Amino acid sequence: MIKKEIFIGFIIGIIANAIGLYFAALIFGNGDDFLNVLSSASSEGILGKLISLGAILNLAAFFIFIKKKQDYRARGVLLATVIVAISTFVFKFI
């Protein structure tokens, strides 16, 4: 039961990060297509920063779960945020 709740929180954290990445690409993409923004961000070396901006929605999901007293789902969101941070760190140095 606990692992299921953490997994649900993790999936919600990944989805929130993907939605946040999409919105960040729309805001900073100057009207370009989403995939074009990602490829240009990758070539310019700012893809990690764009992914980090997308993780802001995880903050909202985390506090919603804390407020609803769903601590294990909040742990899953926190786990997703840590994995995104580690992957951003790896993208920075590859």
Predicted TM-score (pTM) of this structure: 0.86
Which segment of 4-8, 10-14, 21-25, 77-81 scores lowest on mean pLDDT? Answer: 21-25
Mean pLDDT (whole number) for 25-39: 84
Domain ranges of the chain: 2-93
d(CA 11, CA 77): 8
What single letter denotes the amino acid at residue 1?
M
Q: Which helix (H) or strand (E) holds 45?
A: none
Structural contact between residues 13 and 61, judged by C-beta atoms closer than 8 angstroms:
yes
